[in-house]
Amino acid sequence: MKPLPPSSSKSFVQPLRYSGMDNLDTGRVSKHEFLAFLHNEAEVRVDDYIEGAIEVAEEVHSGLMREDGTSPFLETHTWPVAMDVVRHYRAVNRNITSVEIVAAILHDVMEDDDRILNLHESKSYGFEAYIAYRFGGRIRDIATELKIKPLQNYPGTTDVDRQLARFYEYCDILRDSEYDVKAIKLADRLNNMSFIGHVPGHEKIMRYTREAEDFYLAYPMLPPKMPELYRRMRAAYEQLRLAPAKKLVAA
């Protein structure tokens, strides 16, 4: 495989440009840039296992847009989160294999339920079994563990009550999770917090701020500790707290 040109993209969506700035930099990462990152910066051999995960991620998330209605999910979330997980492992001198990389690439594949059902309705054994068959039980377990369950699965008289019940359960799951799951979830949440702060007035701004105060600020410092991700979580939280008050400059 010939070396790919180094990627100049950054892992996370950059802040909206306010007074004195000219336009919005969405910080998108193309598939080519993602592969270049793995090859050149991460020095990872992109084998059939990783290529297969990229293929499934594209199958599930292709055409999906984020909360602003214009940013592709793959380019502003899937590839950046996977890159961030790899960078974290490298920063703390922790060994990373294709298993951790594939887990990061596929961390959200269980979320797009309607598309999964349409793509795999002919597979009577189900999508989870398909993931386990193709990538192994560990990848299936991580994707399932990180999946946010539907609100109707939880008790409560209002959606707010049900959201809290779901959040409590999810915190218990994350508290007891292993290192790879924790690193992926923190990278995922950092990306989501950074992105939603650039969509003024979105309801998730308040929810992500509250959840950071209730859990995610402390989460990186629970064993196994991840101080580098704590610092970034704190910075993302401080930025998000200001997001509702910020106004875009008229074009």
pLDDT above 70 coverage of the chain, percent: 81
| Residue 155, domain member (yes or no) | no
Q: Cα-flanking dihedrals φ and ψ of residue 219, to 5°?
A: -55, -45
- Residue 115 has a pLDDT of 53
User: DSSP label at 31?
Assistant: H
- Mean pLDDT over 37-56 rounds to 97
| Residue 250, domain member (yes or no) | no
| Residue 126, domain member (yes or no) | yes
| Residue 152, domain member (yes or no) | no
| pLDDT per residue as tens digits for the range 127-180 | 888 999 999 999 999 999 998 888 999 999 999 999 999 999 999 999 999 999
- Residue 125 has a pLDDT of 58
CB within 8 Å of 16: residues ≥ 6 apart: 24, 197, 198, 200, 246, 248
Tell me the β-bridge partners of 65: 72
Burial class (CB in 10 A: 0-12, 13-18, 19+), 2: exposed
- Residue 243 has a pLDDT of 82
| Residue 24, domain member (yes or no) | no
Q: What is the pTM of this model?
A: 0.83
| Residue 234, domain member (yes or no) | yes
| Residue 13, domain member (yes or no) | no
What range defines the domain where residue 106 resides?
Answer: 31-147+178-245
Helices (H), the chain: 31-36, 48-61, 73, 79-91, 98-105, 113-119, 127-135, 137-146, 159-175, 179-196, 203-211, 227-242
- Residue 182 has a pLDDT of 98
| pLDDT per residue as tens digits for the range 74-119 | 999 999 999 999 999 999 999 999 999 999 999 999 875 455 545 5
Question: DSSP string spanning 166-226?
Answer: HHHHHHHHHHT--HHHHHHHHHHHHHHHHHHTTSTT-HHHHHHHHHIIIIITTGGGSSSP-
Burial class (CB in 10 A: 0-12, 13-18, 19+), 195: buried
CATH code of 206's domain: 1.10.3210.10
- Residue 55 has a pLDDT of 97
| Residue 14, domain member (yes or no) | no
143: tokens are: 């994707």
Among candidate residues 67, 78, 71, 68, the one with its CA nearest the CA of residue 31: 78
The count of structural domains within the chain is 1
What size, in residues, is the chain? 251
- Residue 110 has a pLDDT of 85
pLDDT above 90 coverage of the chain, percent: 73
| pLDDT per residue as tens digits for the range 214-231 | 999 999 999 999 999 999
